[in-house]
Every structure is written in C-alpha cells, then in structure tokens.
Amino acid sequence: MTRAVALRLGVFAGALALAFAAAFAIGSAVDPIAAADPAPPAGMADMGGAHGGGHSESSGQLPGLAVSDAGYTFVPESTFFTANSKTVLRFTIKGPDGKPVTGYTPTHEKDLHLIVVRRDLSGFHHIHPTRDAGGTWSIPFTFTAGGTWRLYADFQPAGFDRTLTLGTDVNVSGLYIPVPLNEPASSYSVHEYDVTLAGTPVAGKESELTFRVSSGGKPVTDLQPYLGAFGHLVSLRSGDLAYLHNHPAQHAEAGMKGGPEIKFGTTFPTAGTYRLFLDFQHAGAVHTAEFTVQVGGDGKPIVPPTVVPSDPSHEETPHGH
C-alpha cells in the first residue's frame, strides 16, 4: 500500500467515525426510548386492583401488568397445562427476602384472590386457593380451552401498606378458537337473572357504575353479601389486560340484604375497550354478569334498556256474565 493510499484511508475512517458520533448524538436527542418516561395520565397514579383501599403502584404502572412489584413476585409452580384436564394450580408469592410469604392481611374477607381468564377475555374465573404452612397456594382447576391464560394474584402482605395485584401468563395446550369480544351492551342475562348497567364512564376520572339485578321481570331485593359487599367487580382493559380499580359503594355483612342496585366507583385510565365481570350472590349461589364497555374522553352515558316489571294487579281479568 502506498503512502498516499494509506493517508486517504485514514482520512476516510476519521470522517466515518465523526459521522457515527453525530448520528448517535442526534438519535439520543430524539429517540423516545432514550427519553424519560412520560408522566402517567390523570387518574392513573392512584389506580389499583378491584378490591379498593390503598392500591397504588410504585412504578406508576397499572396493576396486573407485572409479575413482580415492590419486591414481591408471583411464582407459579408450572406455566404449562392441558385443556379439559383436571389439575392443581400451585404457586407462591415470594417476598423481598426471596422466601414464600406466609403472612397476609385479609382484603374482602380473603388473604388472596386469584383471577383466571384467557387472554381473549373469555373463560373468567374468580377463585380462592388455600395456603399451606410453607406459603404455597393451591386449588383444583380445569382450563376449558387451549391458548394463553392470564393469572392475577390480588393480596396484601402482612405489614405492607397497600394491596398488590401481580399477573403472569400460563400456556394451555389444546384446541384454540379465539372468542371475539362481545359488542358493548347495557344488559346481560345469566341463568334466571337479568343484569343491566348504567353510568357515564370517562377516561381518567372516577365514574359511578350502577348494576341492577332482576329475575323474572322483578327486581331482586335480597342479594346476599359476597366478599364483604353485595357485588364484586373485576375490570380488565382489552389489549394489555390491565386490572382496574373498583370501589364497592356499600359494605355488606352476613344477614344483610341488598339489591336490586349495586354501585361501584371505577376509574378507567385511558380511552379504549374494557371487559367488566360482576359477581353477585343470590339464594346461596354466585353468578357472573359480563359487560363490554367502550370508554372515551367525552363521558358518553350507558343507558340500560327500559324494563317494565310485571304486576299481576294490573292485569285484566275476564268478567263473568
């Protein structure tokens, strides 16, 4: 190689290095990944799980999106299952010391609430496993279809100042047929019950939702307490399945009667589509009503259908002549 050629190569290499350095500097200035994370939307900072009372995420992230928070981690024994096969779900909640947590503060009458739902928001289950002395939770369970399912553990460790909701996915082998989300509607029928929904949900602000339960055209006025209230509501955001914050408006204890209305304060953090699962108890059985809600920033009201209750006293009777 001649001296002139070597000199030209050196100049080219130096210019190339300067170009890369300039490009990196510009990229660092405009790359959104390198920039600081934006502040959470209004109302997000105080979001939490469905039981209410002290749900606030230290990361600013909505509950249920992370497997670990504040040093606590949701650890399933297995993440692989077979559809329509009886199994036992086993898991631990590991604390900041890496050991299974054995002390809990009850929330809504339970040490831990386990929510199981497929990622297309079908097959919802709200169940309560039992815990052994070593901190392992377990419950018999059957996944009804193949696909990816989401598990949520909702709990408050003893001595901790708030409730946590941790989420993780598990894989279920078997026939997978995606179930499309139902269109938004203000009524749902389950068994012999009809449930209607009314409210004006708006993104970023707390909204009051009112569910009304009837059976055979008559309002149900003897709902039984379930988990310390006359209803229990789980709300999930379609897409990422964030687990939202629902406050029951009325506390309920054994022997009390409720209905036909069940009210909740709910904050939808963003505009979008949400799936609501309402559990209520009547005549000793728990039933689940499911609603799809479209939330915008303008507060469009949800109007329930007009129901005219039957009243035998107003029915015409034949006249004898």
Q: What is the model's pLDDT at position 112?
A: 98
Give me the chain's average pLDDT, please.
83
- Whether the full predicted model's pTM is greater than 0.85, yes or no, is no
Region 53-58 average pLDDT: 44
Taking CB atoms within 8 Å and a gap of at least 24, the contacts of 96-102 are 96/70, 96/71, 96/72, 99/135, 100/134, 100/135, 100/136, 101/72, 101/135, 101/157, 101/158, 102/131, 102/133, 102/134, 102/135
pLDDT digits (tens, 9 = 90+) for 205-248: 999 999 999 999 999 999 999 999 999 999 999 999 999 978 89
- Strand 164-173 and strand 80-82: the pairing is parallel
Higher-confidence residue: 50 or 137?
137
Report the percentage of the chain scoring pLDDT > 70.
77
What pLDDT, on a 0 to 100 scale, did the predictor assign at position 51?
A: 52
pLDDT value for 245: 75
Quick one: pLDDT at residue 278?
Answer: 97
Catalogue all structural domains in the chain, each as residue range(s) with its CATH number: 68-173 (2.60.40.10), 187-295 (2.60.40.3340)
Rounded to an integer, the average pLDDT of 36-59 is: 42
pLDDT (tens digit, 9 = 90+) per residue, 137-149?
A: 999 999 999 999 9
pLDDT computed for residue 157 by the predictor: 98
